[in-house]
Structure 1
């Protein structure tokens, strides 16, 4: 049975619901890491603080970090693959907008 305890200590699980892990160190391409008991070879260098897939993800699947949705993947993602702007789209909605044509009037 796989569990977070079978995961490389350089990969941090922030919340049990998360389907991504956070790199606690810079991990060079070609580095082998264990993710829940499965050995994965990193295809790309993962920078400190960046996300990797905890498990395989399918197109449009939501990505959870700290147990909250932070976006969705725009295609299939393999376990251990880098999650970043090339395959992860934000689901954040802006809380305000700026209207370039609007002028503020001060009284």
Structure 2
């Protein structure tokens, strides 16, 4: 495998309305991921299936996956940021119940 491929991660943009993309493979901090003309740099090691912001997402903005809202941004999210429970309020009841049980 060429050295440049070791620092490249594939992304899946699941729906044209989505403001996130999903990692199609595990990625290491600093790896590059391209989506059309946009290059994103992984902020930390992330496993396959985790989400990255593909553009700026303002606080209070819905996070869209498969074209449907899955949560709301709790802070400003910049392109390339890991989008997960640390910066969104989930709209999945199961996750909200789990979070409530941890407090």
TM-score, structure 1 length as denominator? Answer: 0.73
**Structure with the greater alpha carbon radius of gyration:** 1
Partner residue of 1:64?
64
After TM superposition, give the deviation of residue 59 of structure 1 in Å: 0.5
After TM superposition, give the deviation of residue 32 of structure 1 in Å: 1.6
Which shows bigger deviation, 83-92 or 69-78? 83-92
Go from structure 1 to structure 2 and tell me whether the alpha carbon gap of 1:42 and 1:9 turns closer, same or farther (over 3 Å shift): closer
* 4+ long deviations beyond 6 Å: none
* Structure 2, unaligned runs of 5 or more: 1-7, 95-103
Alignment map for 1:36-51 (pairs within 5 Å): 36-51=36-51
CA distance in structure 2 between the partners assigned to 1:61 and 1:46 by the alignment: 23
Alignment map for 1:1-107 (pairs within 5 Å): 10-92=10-92
After TM superposition, give the deviation of residue 9 of structure 1 in Å: 7.1
* Structure 1, unaligned runs of 5 or more: 1-7, 95-107
Root-mean-square deviation (CA, aligned residues, Å) is 2.1
CA distance in structure 1 between the partners assigned to 2:28 and 2:93 by the alignment: 33
